Amino acid sequence: MHTDVKCKCTGNGLKMNACVGAILSHPEINKVLFNFLKLKAMKRVGNILMVVLLLVSTTGMAQGQRFRGGDGNAKQTVGKGYCYLNLTPEQEQKINDLRVKHLKGITPLRNELNEKQAHLRTLESADKPDMAAINKTIDEISSIKTKLMKARVAHRAEVSQLLTDEQRVLFNAHGLKGKGMRGHRGNMRGGYGMGMGLGPCMGNKPRGF
């Protein structure tokens, strides 16, 4: 860097301070110092942003786990919509245990159903559809759906046995409104006994119960 600053920084303190001041006040040196400080500030801001993003990401993951049931496995709280039953803590725990058992039982069936439905789509999209294979797959899908519906009804019956007479009337009334019987219309995104469990009072009946 070229500079015409000529100063001998020797002697007593006053001369030294004056010399340093003259050097720092030079435009080129001042520009270099400004750019250096600006770079340091940008790095500091970048580090702060990284910390903030990390905190936000960690918080979001923790909240997501809470909505999925804590550790993300089948053991979840019994979900929204059961507030109208005014369940006791003991009832909630027993119903949750039944729900976990129910989900473990129907998960293989749901997976098999998804595979059969995907296979059916493949058969139907062929240039020359094999109707024998298509009809066989349709029968297999119907059989799985029947098993899922039976499992759902059996699960509801088990839950019903844990309720008082008053709770059972409300439970059955909500179950006959149609939302829990979506399997009749072929909608597998909540029918056949998935259920959502008990949790915060949201005012709506959970699907599948």
Query: Please, where are the H alpha helices in the chain?
Result: 13-24, 27-68, 89-124, 131-160, 165-175
Q: DSSP class of residue 54?
A: H
Note the pLDDT of residue 101.
95
In angstroms, the CA 119 to CA 125 distance is 10
| 75 vs 80 pLDDT, higher one | 80
pTM, to two decimals: 0.51
pLDDT at 173: 85
As a whole number of angstroms, the distance between CA 56 and CA 61 comes to 9
Q: What is the pLDDT of residue 29?
A: 66
Percentage above 70 pLDDT, the chain:
44
Asked whether residue 158 carries a pLDDT value surpassing 90, the answer given is: yes
Q: Considering the domain 83-185 in this protein, what is its CATH number? A: 1.20.120.1490
* Token digits of residue 118: 């995907």
Mean pLDDT, the chain, integer: 71
pLDDT at 150 over 60: yes
For the chain, what percent of residues have pLDDT higher than 90?
39
* Closest by CA position to 86, among listed 142, 168, 23: 168
